[in-house]
Amino acid sequence: MMVSVLIVGQPNVGKTSFAINFANYLGVKKLKLLVRQPAGFMATKTYQLEEAYEELVAVEPHKTTEVQSIQLKLPIGKQDKKIRLIDSCGLVDEIHSKQKIRTAMAQTLNQLFQSQIILHMIDLSQFDFFSQLKKIDQELYNLFHQQPGYKILANKLDLDHQKNNLTKLESLIEQKLIIAISALYQQGFTEVKTFLLKNV
């Protein structure tokens, strides 16, 4: 059975960057994305990894406007376990002004309740200005933190000052639910793979 693993969080926290680099970490050289179009049908797009970064990752919010997934193999002994890693539109507290973004968010919410594993990504730099979770992150945590397939990926650990922010995050939620990562430099990916293998 193919297990669905959803990457979810606010815009610009590093979800797409993580998806691309985690595929690379697992040995994928050519990215084959299955994309759910707004009309409902599925399309396949293939990228070289460098091309995927150029096309799919951006500084502006809501670059990802469809649910897109990659089929990956997690190596374990002589037998691989298969997952469908799902990248999603960033979720925000307010109702977005653009219909396309609202539709993409609705797709993400639908996937939340269909996926066996949820990787909730939080940008550690948000704690430069706030010492609490943002509303959407708090709601996701409240909904899923008791489920065994839920984990928080605390991203951007590669930035020097983020270790203090990681301590702030650990004071707000259960520390055992956090994996500190750098989506850009593949830090923490071994721990993510171990967590996935325990839950697929």
Q: What topology does CATH give the domain 3-199?
A: Rossmann fold (3.40.50)
Average pLDDT over residues 167-180: 94
Mean pLDDT score across all residues of the chain: 87
DSSP-assigned letters across all residues of 46-85: EEEHHHHHHHH--SSS----SEEEEEEEEEETTEEEEEEE
Is the pLDDT score of 17 beyond 80?
Answer: yes
Residue 84: strand pairing partners: 4, 71
Tokens of 91: 């979720």
Provide the pLDDT confidence category of residue 10 given band limits of 50, 70 and 90. very high
- The Cα–Cα gap between 88 and 59 comes to 16
Is the pLDDT score of 56 beyond 50?
Answer: yes
Strands of 67-149 (E only): list them.
67-76, 79-87, 117-123
Task: Write down the domain spans for the chain.
Answer: 3-199
Instruction: Give the tens place of pLDDT for each residue, 118-155.
Output: 999 999 988 877 788 999 999 999 999 999 999 999 99
| pTM recorded for the entire structure | 0.90
Question: Which carries the bigger pLDDT value, residue 154 or residue 94?
Answer: 154
